[in-house]
Amino acid sequence: MSRLVDLAAVLRTKNAGPLTLTIDIIFDDHAKYDRVVRSGVINAKRISEIYAVDEDDVMITEYAIVNAIKVSFPRSCVSGSVLDDDVYGCQQHRPVADIEIGPD
């Protein structure tokens, strides 16, 4: 078994405005991208459980032409607010890094 972080060339989070967080998962070849997509492990239910957001608020977009997956969902608090501990949203990818991807 491989972890998502082992297959992705880029695994990062960032703000998509002050209210939304985006996870970018970018692969350096189509075989890795296809393996992860076919595994089905990057899904709204799983993301909602990991980040404690409503499953209906999770948007996943697969970009096969550039071997990338984009996952977006509401931030737990507004970026820059008193409760925010990651203003840029750039330190939130760790919970998905260890997602296991089954054998090809």
pLDDT value for 65: 97
Query: What's the rounded mean pLDDT across residues 47-67?
Result: 97
Q: Please report where in the chains the tokens 């760790």 appear, as a residue.
A: 94
Query: What's the rounded mean pLDDT across residues 50-70?
Result: 97
pLDDT higher than 80, residue 104: no
pLDDT higher than 70, residue 58: yes
pLDDT tens track for 23-43: 999 999 999 999 999 999 999
- Give the model's confidence band at 98: pLDDT under 50 very low, under 70 low, under 90 confident, else very high: very high
Q: Please report where in the chains the tokens 């820059």 appear, as a residue.
A: 80
Q: Are 5 and 98 contacting, i.e. CB atoms less than 8 angstroms apart?
A: yes
